[in-house]
């Protein structure tokens, strides 16, 4: 079982030097509202992380010829979970998916591929993290739990 405090300390060592900050935690009411709206019980590890930090803000500055482009992405917040899961469901409706598997999506890779937990009978009991490739309509396991995914993603060890 993941210790959220140890996980966050490890993650902060990676994030802070790269101008990525953790948001304050979500309230239990926000999490319960999202679970109710999606009709899904979130995995305990995700609830623990959300209570500690309602996502990360990744701020990147990309120099361009006449100006600097600013990219501000937010990952694993309650809002991004709602948006990502609805987006995944739209993909399933748009294509004739042979999988028909639903996922609780909490982040994407910036190219339309979503990371998430498999939903079975309205619950995410397994902590395995998958990436969904909508063009190929396939899923691949990328991590055994949220901690492995987050640290691996920000260290560049998880590539999609």
The pLDDT tens digits for 101-142 are 778 888 888 777 888 888 888 788 789 999 988 778 788 999
Q: CB pairs under 8 A, 24+ apart, for 148-157?
A: 149/115, 150/7, 150/11, 150/76, 151/7, 151/10, 151/11, 151/14, 153/107, 153/115, 154/11, 154/14, 154/15, 154/18, 154/20, 155/14
State pTM to two decimals: 0.77
Q: What is the rounded average pLDDT of the residues 37-54?
A: 88
Q: What is the rounded average pLDDT of the residues 22-46?
A: 89
More confident residue, 4 or 134: 134
Can you read off the two tokens belonging to residue 114? Answer: 């979503």
Q: What is the rounded average pLDDT of the residues 11-23?
A: 71
Q: Tell me phi and psi for residue 114, to 5 degrees.
A: -105, 145
Which residues are within 8 A (CB) of 113 and not within 5 positions of it... i.e. 6 or more apart? 131, 132, 133, 134, 160
pLDDT tens for each residue of 58-106: 655 555 566 655 545 557 788 888 877 666 566 555 555 566 677 888 8
143 with 129: CB under 8 angstroms? Answer: yes
**What confidence score (pLDDT) does residue 132 get?**
85
More confident residue, 34 or 2: 34
């Amino acid at each position: 079982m993941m210790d959220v405090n140890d996980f966050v300390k490890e993650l902060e060592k990676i994030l802070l030097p790269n101008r990525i900050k953790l948001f304050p935690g979500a309230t239990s009411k926000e999490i319960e509202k999202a679970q109710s709206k999606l009709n899904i019980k979130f995995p305990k590890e995700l609830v623990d992380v959300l209570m500690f930090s309602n996502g990360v803000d990744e701020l990147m500055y990309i120099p361009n010829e006449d100006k600097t482009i600013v990219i501000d992405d937010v990952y694993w917040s309650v809002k991004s979970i709602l948006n990502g899961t609805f987006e995944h469901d739209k993909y399933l409706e748009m294509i004739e998916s042979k999988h028909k598997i639903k996922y609780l999506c909490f982040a994407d890779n910036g190219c339309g591929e979503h990371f998430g937990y498999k939903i079975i009978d309205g619950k995410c009991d397994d902590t395995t993290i998958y990436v969904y490739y909508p063009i190929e309509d396939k899923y691949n396991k990328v991590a055994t739990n949220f901690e492995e995914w987050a640290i691996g993603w920000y260290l560049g060890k998880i590539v999609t």
